[in-house]
Amino acid sequence: MTFYPKPTTIIVIGIFFFAVLAMRITRTFAFEKWHVSIGLLILGGILYFLNINLIRFFIKARAPEFANDEDWESTAGLGIVPKWVSIIGLLSISAFITAVLPWIITFFKNLLR
């Protein structure tokens, strides 16, 4: 049996990973903060669409009777889609949060001055 952490744990670890990566990229290449935020938004979008396409691929390959748009939700929990595909989707959420959260914090910080 393989251990997979809870989704919130994966998201928090992803946020930490992307924040450290963004800081390193900003310092190494002397980018502005908004350049890295746009890059993280693009990465989040790519991971999101990769997640969707992998889910569709595995459902069509392993359970074609559920491949139409109305019945795919009934495959949840059956092991048709591998867990690593879900991890890709959770990492897309982490990338979006890491891209947007510093701007939200800065906005409220300036609002309270």
Q: For residue range 15-41, what is the model confidence (pLDDT) as tens digits?
A: 999 999 999 999 999 899 899 999 999
User: Nearest-CA neighbor of 22 among 2, 1, 50, 44?
Assistant: 44
pTM of this structure: 0.83
Domain that holds residue 106: 7-111
Encoding tokens for residue 7? 């989704």
Spatial CB neighbours of 18, under 8 Å, sequence gap ≥ 6: 40, 94, 95, 98
Tens-place pLDDT, residues 49-95: 999 999 888 888 877 676 666 666 666 666 777 888 989 999 999 99
In a domain, 29, yes or no: yes
In a domain, 63, yes or no: yes
For residue 100, is it within any domain? yes
Flag whether 1 is in a domain.
no
Is the CB of residue 58 less than 8 Å from the CB of residue 80?
Answer: yes
With respect to residue 31, please indicate whether it lies within any of the assigned structural domains: yes
How many whole angstroms separate alpha carbon 98 and alpha carbon 40? 7
The number of folded domains in the chain is: 1
Q: Is residue 2 part of a domain?
A: no
